[in-house]
Structure 1
Amino acid sequence: MNRKLLLALLFLFTLLKLSAQEKNNAFKIGFNFGFGSEFNNRNYTFTNHFYKMQLYYTLKEKKNFQYEILVQPEVNFGKHQLLNFYFVQPFEPDYLEKRERFTKLKTVHEYVLNLGFLIRKPISKTFSFYVLGSIGPMITDTETERMSEGFAFADVLAVGFSIKADRFQFDFRPSVRHVSNAGFNDKNAGYNTKNIELGVSYGL
């Protein structure tokens, strides 16, 4: 699965690079690093850090707004622990064993391909503000009391601030993220986290 994903991403990058040669200013490629944690609650903890490739394409530029689409391959490294063992109900099979297993700290790896739409408002030639929404398929490698192992979705809503310096763009991006599997698997309570991302991109 990992090799196929890497080959698909390499193919996508190659296509975007070739297209960028024809539309010189429409594409940007970049890299983001982020970290976050769950919203305060009594049931669980979830902290994470992640790395994203950023592939921007400018759909349209108007006087006051700019519209972009964004492809974001992501690897997310999480730490999760069940705090409230009553979340595992007695009617579940082997509920005592599950309570003991799920209350231990776990490492969770997530592999995501988010597709986003971004509306940017230039403030000056150097600064801009934007709103970003994205959604994409995800594979998680660890079962918890809130999520089954395997296929899921990651949804992100973010605001961001950009600074341009020649062909480089530097980003500061607070966001909220929801992860669940839309009912495809048994456990679907999901996670909700607040995150901060820092990134840099380069205009092709």
Structure 2
Amino acid sequence: MKLKLLFLLTFLFFITGYSQDSIPKYKWLRSGLVVGYASQNTIFKQDSDYTYETVCFKFSNHFNFYKKNKNSWEILIEPSYYRSQHQLLNYWFISHTVENGDELRAKFMPLKSMNEYVLNIGVVYRRYLNTSSSVFATLNSGPMYIDTDTERLKKGFAFSDIFTFGYNYRLKNVSFDTKCVFRHVSNADLQMPNFGLNSIGFEFGTYFELN
């Protein structure tokens, strides 16, 4: 929830600071395809109760919002598909006092494959190092649908919150980037359970540049 609030405040700040004079010739800055991998234990072990791995495919669109000198801000719109795997590891995560505990363990402890359909919207801050390369950070959030029940998250509507930082290199009208990704999935207590799913990973993108 804190990430959603931070995203909203950041977005509103730049909306109120909007200036027609700050927008360059092309509003649409870049569009491309992104692939990535992330897991609950990619870099360090976050939780021994479960495993969670994702492979993602994204259609990434960046709209130039403000640009001055070596700094720019962009609006990010990113429809995404995640193919994920999840498994409950901790037998006692489901308490022995639960009446149907054995039934729930039998349902949730096998390895599961899941589909996640996401629409993330956010902001990108970019710092140009020279005419062909830049470093950037993104903060985005959006609605998603997950098609499988787990002990941590109910099937159905949820939110995908993402923070990234990375490097982009441009070669004429094409650019390439790589970034580190931190992602949290939860449903804001709209359904139970809502323990959430966390992952850290890497993404690689190829873009067509329009400015």
Shorter-chain TM-score bucket reads 0.7 to 0.9
Dislocated runs of 4+, deviation >3 Å: 90-93
Which residue identity is paired with 2:159? F
SS at match of 1:54: strand
- Aligned counterpart for 1:126 among listed residues 122, 125, 132: 132
Look up the SS of the partner of 1:114 in the other structure. strand
Aligned twin of 1:37: 39
* Residues 21-60 of structure 1 mapped to structure 2, 5 A cutoff: 25-27=26-28, 28-39=30-41, 40=45, 41-60=47-66
State the aligned residue count: 182
CA distance in 2, matches of 1:57, 1:157: 18
| SS of 1:33 mapped into structure 2 | strand
Give the secondary structure class of the aligned counterpart of 2:107.
Answer: helix
Is 1:170 matched up with 2:170?
A: no
- Aligned counterpart for 1:179 among listed residues 185, 200, 203: 185
2:175, 2:72 → 1: CA distance? 15
* Distance in 2 (alpha carbons) for counterparts of 1:157 and 1:93: 39
TM-score (norm 1): 0.86
After TM superposition, list the pairs within 5 Å mapping 1:4-153 onto structure 2.
25-27=26-28, 28-39=30-41, 40=45, 41-153=47-159
**Tell me, which stretches of 5 or more residues in structure 2 are unaligned?**
1-23
Per the TM alignment, residue 90 of structure 1 is displaced from its structure 2 partner at its CA by: 3.3
TM-score of the two chains, using structure 2 as the length reference = 0.83
Residue 64 of structure 1 deviates from its aligned partner by: 2.7
Residues 1:60 and 1:85: Cα distance change in structure 2 (over 3 Å): same
Contact 1:76 1:109 survives alignment (8 Å):
yes
Percent identity between the two aligned chains = 32
RMSD: 1.2
How much does 1:58 deviate? 0.3
In 2, Cα distance between the equivalents of 1:74 and 1:93? 39
Aligned to 2:207: 201
Determine helix, strand or coil for the equivalent of 1:175: strand
Separation of aligned partners in 1, 2:148 and 2:67: 42
Contact conserved, 1:25 with 1:203, CA < 8 A, in 2?
Answer: no
After superposition, what is the alpha-carbon deviation per residue over 1:142-181, rounded to whole angstroms, capped at 9, x for unaligned? 0000000000000000001000011111110111100000
Q: Return the offset for 1:88.
A: 1.1
Q: Distance in 2 between matches of 1:85 and 1:169?
A: 47
What is the rounded CA distance, in whole Å, between the counterparts of 2:27 and 2:173 in structure 1? Answer: 12
